[in-house]
Amino acid sequence: MTALVLGVGRMGTAIAYAMDKLGFHVIGMDTNRDAANNIPHKVNLKDGKTPRNEFFVIGNNKDLLKGISYHKHLIDVVISSLPYHQTQAVGHYCIQHGLRYCDLGGRVDVSESINSLAKQEATKPVFTDLGLAPGWVNILAEEGYQSLYGGGQITNVNMMVGGLPDYSLSSENPLRYCISWSPDGLINEYKDDCIVLEDGQIKTVKGMDGLEAVESDKLGKLEAFYTSGGASHSIHSMKARGVNNCSYKTLRYKGHGAMVKFLMRDCQLDDETLNKIFVEGCGQCDKDEVIVIAKVEKDNKTWKEEKLVRSDDRFSAMQKATAFPISTVASLMAEGYFDDRTVHNRGGDKKLPLVLSYADVPHDEFNKRLETLGIYN
């Protein structure tokens, strides 16, 4: 089977590695020459000698679509780790040409546009917002929901994710943080409004509000606050199923939230200055940890799960926690697991939409494949 990976930067490289490890032939494309030329040194060996994967430099977005068209007869699944401004055109193209498609998401309006078209025209499954948050944490929350489902009303679903520097590095700057992904994306998550489900009603709250202390089983004392994007469509999905409260928060070491809130709101620093503080002041690091927490409550029962991912010699924790979940689901998509969306019941057969949701992911197989990839190593 063949997976086409679009965008082979930090996340795309980890996706290509994961798909290769899951037994796929990988074709990678990128408009960035350095990314496309460097990846074969990291992901390309079948028997230690013979390359089995292919990586191409594409001139621009139009050439990207031409590249998909040229290879479409070979492709079992398309995985996009492109920036959001390139994602919409690619998603639409894959839907219109009958290709299985998934992406890391990044922008609500882009995902909505792709899903809207997929509901009307898709002939193969489509899955957007499938990275870490949104993505893995939402799948984990669904696992908790399904574990407690039946015999009472599920009242609360809480999701939290933290991309943190290794604790030994956390005291090296006042923000107790370092960059392990896009600083622009980070700033947007902090600044943008967020949606939450509170007492059965969907509400809008400010990013970085809702600060609370959190005791992690794996990392000890942390703090959490609202940030945008991570909930994806889980908020609306949980409301439709009668859940009273559902939210997504970002986890950080204690003190980070108050400091960043001071810089953003009290000092009113612009995005360029904030970017400089994060990149030059905090710096970048590949020695990091990612903590993923989902908690589901019903009556007097609580389901809670924590996952901890650490960096290794090959990838940062953020790369693993973002790339391995989408690769796992993409492998299931390529195998045709979601192709037949027919539900058989007494009232007759019903065709479900080909727009996939986190509730559709088979948890046992998903978790098994994550472990095969060595996500916790």
Q: Flag the least confident range among 47-51, 128-132, 317-321.
A: 47-51
**Same domain (yes/no): 291, 210:** yes
- Rounded-to-integer distance, Cα 198 and Cα 203, Å: 7
The answer to the question of residue 14 being in a domain is: yes
| Position with higher pLDDT, 290 vs 175 | 290
Q: If you search the block for the tokens 């090296």, which residue do you land on?
A: 172
> Mean pLDDT across the stretch 75-103?
94
**Same domain (yes/no): 255, 219:** yes
Number of domains in the chain: 2
**Same domain (yes/no): 92, 140:** no
Q: Considering the chain, what percentage of its residues have pLDDT values greater than 90?
A: 60
The answer to the question of residue 346 being in a domain is: no
**190-241 residue pLDDT tens:** 888 999 999 999 999 999 999 999 999 999 999 999 999 889 889 999 999 9
Final residue of a structural domain among 108, 127, 146: 127
Q: Flag the least confident range among 71-85, 278-292, 314-328.
A: 278-292
> Mean pLDDT across the stretch 151-180?
82
Q: What per-residue confidence (pLDDT) applies to 265? A: 87
The answer to the question of residue 176 being in a domain is: yes
> Mean pLDDT across the stretch 330-343?
89
- Rounded-to-integer distance, Cα 127 and Cα 233, Å: 12
**Same domain (yes/no): 32, 102:** yes
**Same domain (yes/no): 103, 72:** yes
The answer to the question of residue 52 being in a domain is: yes
**DSSP readout, 84-129?**
HHHHHHHHHHHHHTT--EEE----HHHHHHHHHHHHHH-SS-EE-S
Q: Flag the least confident range among 113-117, 125-129, 257-261, 370-374.
A: 257-261
Look up residue 166 and give its DSSP letter.
-
| Position with higher pLDDT, 2 vs 83 | 2
Query: Where residue 117 falls among pLDDT bands split at 50, 70, 90?
Result: very high
End-to-end Cα, the chain, rounded Å: 26
**Same domain (yes/no): 142, 286:** yes
pTM (2 decimals)?
0.92
50 pLDDT above the threshold of 50: no
> Mean pLDDT across the stretch 259-280?
86
- Rounded-to-integer distance, Cα 241 and Cα 358, Å: 14
Query: Where residue 40 falls among pLDDT bands split at 50, 70, 90?
Result: low
Amino acid at 120: Q
Give me the CATH number covering residue 214: 3.30.360.10
The answer to the question of residue 103 being in a domain is: yes
**Same domain (yes/no): 109, 250:** no
> How far lies 169's CA from each of 86, 160, 173, 315, in Å?
35, 22, 9, 17
Rg (CA), the chain: 20
Give me the CATH number covering residue 64: 3.40.50.720
**Same domain (yes/no): 141, 250:** yes
The answer to the question of residue 189 being in a domain is: yes
357 pLDDT above the threshold of 80: yes
**Same domain (yes/no): 191, 68:** no
- Most trustworthy range by pLDDT among 51-55, 61-65, 186-190, 199-203: 199-203
The answer to the question of residue 210 being in a domain is: yes
> Mean pLDDT across the stretch 341-354?
72
Domain that holds residue 18: 2-127
Query: Where residue 43 falls among pLDDT bands split at 50, 70, 90?
Result: low
Final residue of a structural domain among 273, 300, 316: 316
**Same domain (yes/no): 188, 311:** yes
**Same domain (yes/no): 63, 172:** no
Q: Flag the least confident range among 15-19, 239-243, 349-353, 361-365.
A: 349-353
Contact between residue 297 and residue 155 where contact means Cβ atoms under 8 Å apart = yes
Q: What per-residue confidence (pLDDT) applies to 348? A: 67
Q: What per-residue confidence (pLDDT) applies to 169? A: 63
Instruction: Supply the mean pLDDT for the chain.
Output: 88
**Same domain (yes/no): 35, 116:** yes
The answer to the question of residue 67 being in a domain is: yes
Query: Where residue 373 falls among pLDDT bands split at 50, 70, 90?
Result: very high
Final residue of a structural domain among 283, 316, 349: 316
